[in-house]
């Protein structure tokens, strides 16, 4: 246990350190998670922030090998929620003191889509008197589009890399102009340039993946100076090409355990960033998101997508909470946060401290 305590107090964790922490099991793992959780509260406090999540469309131009809403999945039930329903969800989040919401969809970059999003962001700001924070997760776009959305009122952007290892990236994506590793990296840099609080993330427990690669993912977040991270266990979907490699997967429980190790290790590596408790954790363990909040996560996302369409945003199978209404989900999340020994920062945007520290460093 002394080695673990030393690593928890260490200022600059190496790849070797991180690989060791990610792979912990048994009593050593429990000790690591518990002690990291204590340090996290000392650093960031007890608050957890809500992001009301609206998954408003599952139309996508990408054909990622792991994703249930990939363009090539003819069995996916496609939907696109109209603007008024999205605005109703935004009003719900505002009236229930969530502080922030997230707009997420399949990836599109056509002008009809980008202009719609610009107007939608403006309408949300107007409908909530500018008080509701807006995070968007809408894929790769031009700098002009990112700037337009930022100026319209969105201030946080999540663009997951899924793996920072280029070789592994092309095992889970087609290798073509529409799935280009360097383009995705450049988009993350462009988001930072435009002024967004910038987030990314990875899947944990992919076929072919190693602890060393996961350690590199954590170091990638630090090297890229990322403000927020959303990462969780990989859960296979039967209507995807990657399903052919299901025999190479770790057991679900192992994927879950390593995901919590990753969250705790990242909290040590980057103490001031925002880390989300991913929904995929709850797909494996009913208390998955609460456990993430105990050991390093400080963001949780109640789903406020109209219930009719929740079941159709299936990036992976066995997704939880697809039959709940927004009110049910919010109440459930409140209880979960309490059970984790945390408190909700109502009416707060819960911005990343790292972002403001990064801004200060850039001025020097």
pLDDT on residue 179: 98
Q: Are 251 and 203 in contact (CB under 8 A)?
A: no
- Confidence band, pLDDT 50/70/90 cuts, at residue 328: low
**Residue 284 in this model has a pLDDT that exceeds 80:** yes
pLDDT digits over 237-264, tens only? 999 999 999 999 999 999 999 999 999 9
Number of folded domains that form the chain: 1
**Residue 307 in this model has a pLDDT that exceeds 80:** no
pLDDT digits over 86-125, tens only? 999 999 999 999 999 999 999 999 999 999 999 999 999 9
Q: What domain range is 225 assigned to?
A: 2-363
The mean pLDDT value of the chain amounts to 93
Strands 343-344 and 274-277: unpaired
Task: Return phi, psi of residue 52, to 5°.
Answer: -65, 115
Strands 203-204 and 133-137: unpaired
**Residue 233 in this model has a pLDDT that exceeds 90:** yes
Nearest to 121 by CA among 54, 58, 60: 54
Distance CA 144, CA 33 (A): 42
**Residue 73 in this model has a pLDDT that exceeds 70:** yes
Distance CA 161, CA 271 (A): 21
- Confidence band, pLDDT 50/70/90 cuts, at residue 335: confident
**Residue 326 in this model has a pLDDT that exceeds 80:** no
245 token code pair: 């490699």
pLDDT digits over 161-173, tens only? 999 999 999 999 9
DSSP for residue 162: B
Q: Global pTM?
A: 0.95
CATH number at residue 228: 3.20.20.70
| Chain-centroid distance, C-alpha 148 | 23
pLDDT on residue 364: 66
pLDDT on residue 336: 81
pLDDT on residue 316: 57
Kind plus residue range of the DSSP H or E element containing 156: strand 156-158
């Amino acid at each position: 246990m002394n080695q673990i305590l030393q690593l928890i107090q260490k200022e600059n964790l190496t790849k070797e350190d991180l690989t060791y922490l990610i792979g912990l099991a048994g009593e050593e793992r429990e000790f690591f998670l518990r002690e990291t959780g204590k340090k996290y509260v000392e650093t960031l406090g007890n608050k957890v922030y809500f992001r009301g999540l609206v998954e408003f469309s599952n139309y996508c131009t990408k054909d990622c090998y792991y994703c249930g809403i990939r363009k090539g999945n003819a069995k996916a039930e496609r939907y696109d929620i109209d603007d008024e329903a999205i605005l109703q969800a935004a009003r719900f989040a505002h009236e229930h003191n969530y502080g922030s919401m997230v707009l997420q969809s399949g990836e599109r970059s056509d002008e009809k889509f980008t202009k719609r999003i610009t107007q939608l962001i403006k309408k949300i700001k107007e409908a909530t008197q500018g008080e509701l924070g807006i995070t968007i997760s809408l894929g790769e776009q031009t700098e002009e589009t990112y700037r337009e959305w930022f100026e319209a009122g969105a201030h946080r952007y999540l663009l997951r890399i899924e793996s920072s290892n280029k070789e592994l990236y092309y095992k889970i994506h087609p290798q073509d102009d529409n799935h280009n590793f360097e383009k995705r990296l450049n988009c993350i840099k462009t988001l930072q340039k435009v002024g967004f609080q910038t987030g990314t993330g990875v899947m944990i427990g992919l076929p072919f993946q190693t602890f060393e690669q996961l350690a590199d993912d954590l170091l990638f977040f630090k090297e890229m100076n990322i403000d927020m991270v959303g990462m969780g266990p990989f859960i296979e979907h039967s209507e995807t090409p990657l399903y052919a490699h299901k025999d190479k997967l770790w057991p679900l429980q192992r994927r879950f355990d390593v995901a919590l190790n990753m969250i705790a290790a990242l909290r040590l590596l980057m103490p001031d960033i925002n880390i989300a408790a991913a929904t995929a954790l709850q797909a494996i363990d009913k208390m998955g998101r609460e456990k993430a909040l105990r050991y390093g996560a400080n963001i949780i996302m109640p789903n406020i997508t109209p219930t009719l369409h929740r079941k159709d945003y299936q990036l992976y199978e066995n997704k939880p909470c697809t039959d709940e209404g927004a009110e049910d989900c919010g109440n459930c999340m409140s209880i979960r946060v309490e059970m984790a020994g945390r408190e909700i920062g109502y009416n707060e945007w819960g911005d990343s401290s790292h972002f403001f520290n990064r801004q200060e460093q850039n001025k020097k």
